[in-house]
Structure 1
Amino acid sequence: MGRGMARNLSAAGLLAGVWNRTRANGEALAEELQVPLTEDAAALARLCDVVITCVSADQDVREVVGALADGVSKGDVVIDTSTIGVDTAEAAAETLRARGAEFLDAPVTGGPEGADTGTLQIMVGGDPDVLERIRPALQAIGSGATHFGPVGYGQRAKAVNQVMVAGLVQAISESLSFAEASGLDTERLLPVLTGGAAGSRLLERRGSRILAGDFEPGFRVSLHHKDLNLCRDLLQKLDVSLPLVEMTIKHYERLLEQGYGEEDTSALFRLKRDLFASGNRKSL
């Protein structure tokens, strides 16, 4: 997703340089976009007033923000688009604030397709005045950037999104397994479903691929599993356990055990389809 964001920033004339922890990836992107590849994160921070980061997990953010802190100046802004814990976002903000820089937690939704087309929805936590100051950068990578509160509230909004995605993946996987087992012509059924009350972007984008057994990511099982555990942490602070979250974590753990963690979340169809297999008709 970072590549898509960088390409759109470049197209808007806003990309000053790039850096990647995997140097080969950084070199390829720098050559494609004709911008400098910096030696390290601190050098990138010294080059730019605004840095946008996109990594996978909490520890990654802690390490990258720690490295950026060595190069930031007063008034610089770091915008993190990763999905991480609220505590990590708050710690990152403190690290940068000590150097006079600002931090926005700005997780995104829309998947690789949204990153490529610049249509991501961005959920922002942090100082609203800082958001307005750097809004042109976010407009280059997304179709909307909504402020939800102080640092950490972008992550809270993203948690709600990830719970809803879990529900959609569960419903689509079960329904299409049911349709297939019922002997329906699924090629004819899909346009009816996507055009009716059950329609969703996920069904539209993934429906035919699911039925074809194509689980190329997309959004990986391993990442959504990580995100739902972050949701569980927030729910525990509210003294609530959501059945949908617990069930989906359990199902993803089965997929991880079977070696499907790097497939798209729609690989949940594998488990649902097995429910209809002869001699295996029991609930998950």
Structure 2
Amino acid sequence: MTTTIGFIGLGIMGGPMARHLAGAGHDVAGHNRSPEKTAPLVEAGGRAAASVTEAVDGAEVVALMLPDSPDVEAVLTGDGGVFDTAKPGTLVVDFSTIRPDVAADLAARASERGLRMIDAPVSGGQAGAENAALSIMVGGAAEDVEAARPLLDVVGKTVVHVGPAGAGQTVKAANQLIVAGTIALVAEAITFLQAHGADLPAAVEVLGGGLAGSAVLDQKASKMLDREFAPGFRIDLHHKDMGIVTEAAREAGVVTPVAALVAQLVAATRAAGDGGLDHSALFRTIARLNGEDVS
């Protein structure tokens, strides 16, 4: 069945996701702060919306893919935002990565407005978005998650309901910790292998076949070997995510010493001017620490 969707945020992740939904036969109206980013959606059969209000008008589902908690709050609660303009019963699906407490609060406020809201952050990066192969961790009421599932299945390969509102964001924070920590260790391993004169591609290949193998090793080691860090997921965003991890851990009274160290390494990479690069550019910080000129 065709669903009318207002999709807000058509960047590296949101753009491909909106196009997949349009390609699946849904009526998708997309809005982005940079209007030119609506063009690929229009080419895929969607519509361009000049404002949030226009995107939400008549929508049965409103989807968000925005950078951070303040962006989501502004789009939902600002004048002319989703909460002001969506019709009662509208399902709000937030694909953004934001603070778990903010997600839970926004879901409660949505309910007060007669709306339904789930948090559905994704993992898989640009490649996952383009290939409709994302892992989606979903928080919210079971009936709302099931209502959204046909759409989630269009953009994701692994879709799992992980608990009530905010739970999706908690799981996503854990995901980002694992990813950043693994990137840091892959960077250190490559630096270690390089210092010993190992055949780096061969070493990465055999590591990938054993217990050290991971999606991070498969996707990010080649970027480090080639020193090619075009963004798929930017350091700036992972810096934001590590802030979510450390803050949420502190609020829960959980001690996460490795998370604290990795957060500092990500922050150092950003401070060195690499915030716009792929998060695999954490390698550049490890290289700097070992005296390598990465200019």
With normalisation by structure 1, the TM-score equals 0.93
Whole-angstrom distance in 1 between the partners of 2:255 and 2:114: 39
Whole-angstrom distance in 2 between the partners of 1:214 and 1:120: 23
Whole-angstrom distance in 1 between the partners of 2:247 and 2:27: 36
Whole-angstrom distance in 2 between the partners of 1:232 and 1:247: 10
Whole-angstrom distance in 1 between the partners of 2:35 and 2:179: 33
Going from structure 1 to structure 2, the CA distance change for 1:49 and 1:127 (only over 3 Å counts) comes to same
Q: Aligned residue for 2:127?
A: 113
1:21 aligns with 2:33: yes
Q: Aligned residue for 1:43?
A: 54
Aligned length: 277
Match 2:157 to one of 138, 143, 154: 143
Task: Indicate conservation of the 8 Å contact 1:138/1:145, yes or no.
Answer: yes
Task: Indicate conservation of the 8 Å contact 2:133/2:157, yes or no.
Answer: yes
1:9 aligns with 2:27: no
**Which region of structure 1 is more displaced relative to structure 2, 100-109 or 39-48?**
39-48
**Which region of structure 1 is more displaced relative to structure 2, 103-112 or 4-13?**
4-13
Runs of 4 or more off by more than 3 Å in structure 1?
274-278
Match 2:141 to one of 127, 143, 159: 127
Task: Indicate conservation of the 8 Å contact 1:173/1:272, yes or no.
Answer: yes
Whole-angstrom distance in 2 between the partners of 1:179 and 1:206: 16
Q: CA RMSD in A?
A: 1.5
Structure 1: gaps spanning 5 or more residues = 279-284
Give the drift of 1:36: 1.9
Amino acid at match of 1:147: H
Q: Aligned residue for 1:152?
A: 166
Q: Aligned residue for 1:263?
A: 277
* Deviations 1:23-63, CA, capped at 9 Å, x for gaps: 2212x134322322122112222232011110110100001
Q: Aligned residue for 1:62?
A: 73
With normalisation by structure 2, the TM-score equals 0.89
Q: Map residues 1-284 of structure 1 onto 2, 5 A cutoff.
A: 1-26=13-38, 28-66=39-77, 67-277=81-291
Amino acid at match of 1:257: A
Give the drift of 1:5: 0.5
Amino acid at match of 2:255: S
Amino acid at match of 2:153: Q
* Deviations 1:72-122, CA, capped at 9 Å, x for gaps: 112110100111012221232233223211110111111111111111111
Whole-angstrom distance in 1 between the partners of 2:291 and 2:191: 10
* Deviations 1:246-266, CA, capped at 9 Å, x for gaps: 111211222122100111111
Task: Indicate conservation of the 8 Å contact 1:6/1:15, yes or no.
Answer: no
Task: Indicate conservation of the 8 Å contact 2:15/2:41, yes or no.
Answer: no
Give the drift of 1:179: 0.8
Task: Indicate conservation of the 8 Å contact 1:125/1:148, yes or no.
Answer: yes
